[in-house]
Each structure stands twice: as structure tokens, then as C-alpha cells.
Amino acid sequence: MPITRTFEKLELNLTPMVNCLNHNLICSNFMTSITKFILSTVFLLWSCSVLAAFKECKIPLKLSATSEWYPYIYQDKNGASTGVDVSLLTTILHHMGCQLEVFHFPERRALYELSHGHFDIGLGASKNAARSKAFFYSEPYRNERNKFAYRGHKQDIALVKNLQEILKLKKVIAINYAGWYGDEIEKAKAKYESFIYSPTAAIRLKMLHFNRVDIVVDDEIVLCKELLRSTYKEIIIHPIVLFEAPIHFIFNKESVSSIFVKQFNKVLDSMRDDGSLSAHYYKQLPIQCQIHETKEP
């Protein structure tokens, strides 16, 4: 509804305005109150009109996502999309008057579809030069710490202090091919033949359990959650951090405007300021996995 038509429908009682002519203090207080009311109404109506004006909200926005990245996004037993990252995204878009439709693919296919303009949004992205050319980035919404899991009785692995020491041991390292784990690991992947690739952390940990690999590299929270729902009691997470980075939502520049992303960031920042962003993760993750994921960027 246009703002001018809305104000035509406002029915203001003007009697106090007439009575206040001989009562300057009452008049001043009344005029202050009504001025605040009008300004707040104008701001509210303007905000609604801005949100409604987003072309992106006319149809559901499309999220291109991996099929299984527990607990950030995954499909429940009924095939519905759930997870702590996708529920956060849905909440922010709801505040903006938008809906979300999720399409699940293997991770490399998901990035391909997004980069070719077939989808609008991706989640769980760290920054690198290649992605920055194709996508707008949101403000960071959580931090990611990449660690590795191993069989606890392997003392040579337990004693390592960095990636280079791991590589010197010539251990077999299972990793996600499409994931970004920082420059050091990317260079190592190109130089060493000790890396093997599989699409999900659950598969990689199963390979570790059956002694087919020696090390599984992944996000600390992913490793923690997967181990909690497994029976692999001999597998533990090493304390060293291989790579740490802020994590963002990304938006296809071909289908999403910078103005839209700016408003998205305003909602995200407000959730950070009022504590609801941290509360979102604390509420949905078990206490064993809550050590690092809610650290504010």
C-alpha cells in the first residue's frame, strides 16, 4: 500500500491539539509524542516497501547445497532439508519476506550449478579469490576450524604439530575434493599423492575405522557430530588446527543484487548484536561440539 494512501486512513484525535493552545507544556509533550509516532510509522512503512521491492523475493530463492554436510545441512529421514546453517538462512530470509527452496547435489555439482547462474545462494563458504569474482559474500556468520581425526592408538600421529609433520609420515589423508582448507593444504594436495577424496565426512570416517586411511581432515564440528552418532570409539580428533576461517553465505551476482545482500547483512548483524546468532547454534548443537562454532567473527 502506498505511504500516502496509508496516511489518509490514519484517524488522529485532534482535540488535545486544540486544548493545548493555552497549556504550552502539555502541547509540547503532545507534539513530541505525535511526531515520534509519525516518524516511526513512516520508517516502518518505508522498511516494508523496501523489502517488498526486492525482485529476488517474488519467487523462492534457490539454494544449491551438498546432499550431506551434517550438522550444517542434510536431509532428514523424510527427505526434508534441515541443519543449523540452512535453518539460519531460512530465518534471515523470512525476516526479509523471502522464501527458500533447497536443491541437493554432490558438492562439486552444487558449486558448478551456482557458478553457472542456475541457483541464487550457497552456504558454508570461506573466501578465496576465485569465488569472489563470481559471488557476493555475506558478513561472516560463524568460524570454521579444520582439524583431523585419527585412530587414537597411533602415537606417531598423536605427536605431530603441523601439516608438514603429517606429510613427512606419508600417511593416507582422506579429504573432501571440493572443500577449501586453506592455501597450505591446497598446495599439498597438488604436490603429494597421499590424499584421497570422498564426498562426505561419514564415508571418510568409515574408511578410517576400517584402516583404509590414516587421517580424515574436516571441519571440527562436522567431525565432532559425526563421531557422536557413530560407534567408532577408537577415533579421536587431534587438537591442532590446520586452518581457520570465517564462514559466509554466497550469492550469485547474476541473480542477486548487492542491495539485497546489504539488507541481508543488516539482518545478520542485528542477530549478532542481540545474541540470537550465538543462541541459534548453542540451541541446536550438543555441548560436546559447542566449543568453537559460535565464536563471533
Prediction pTM value: 0.76
For residue 4, the model assigns a pLDDT of 39
* DSSP run (H or E) holding 102: strand 100-105
103 burial type by CB count under 10 A (0-12 exposed, 13-18 middle, 19+ buried): middle
User: What's the angle, vertex CA 69, arms to CA 64 and CA 73, rounded to 5?
Assistant: 60
- Residue 142, CA distances (Å) to 30, 125, 160, 255 in order: 46, 10, 27, 25
Q: How confident is the prediction along the chain (297 residues), in pLDDT tens digits per residue?
A: 443 333 333 343 434 444 444 445 444 554 555 555 554 444 444 445 444 558 888 999 999 887 788 999 998 888 889 999 999 999 999 999 999 999 887 767 766 776 676 789 999 988 877 778 889 999 999 999 999 999 999 999 999 999 999 999 999 999 987 778 888 999 999 999 999 998 889 999 999 999 999 999 999 999 999 999 999 999 999 999 999 999 999 999 989 999 999 999 999 999 999 999 999 998 888 887 875 444 444
Place of cell 603441523: 162
- List Cβ neighbours of 248 (8 Å cut-off, separation of 6 or more): 125, 126, 127, 137, 138, 139, 140, 141
Give Cα 29 distance to the centre of its chain.
Answer: 46
Q: What is the pLDDT of residues 232-273, one digit of tens each?
A: 999 999 999 999 999 999 999 989 999 999 999 999 999 999
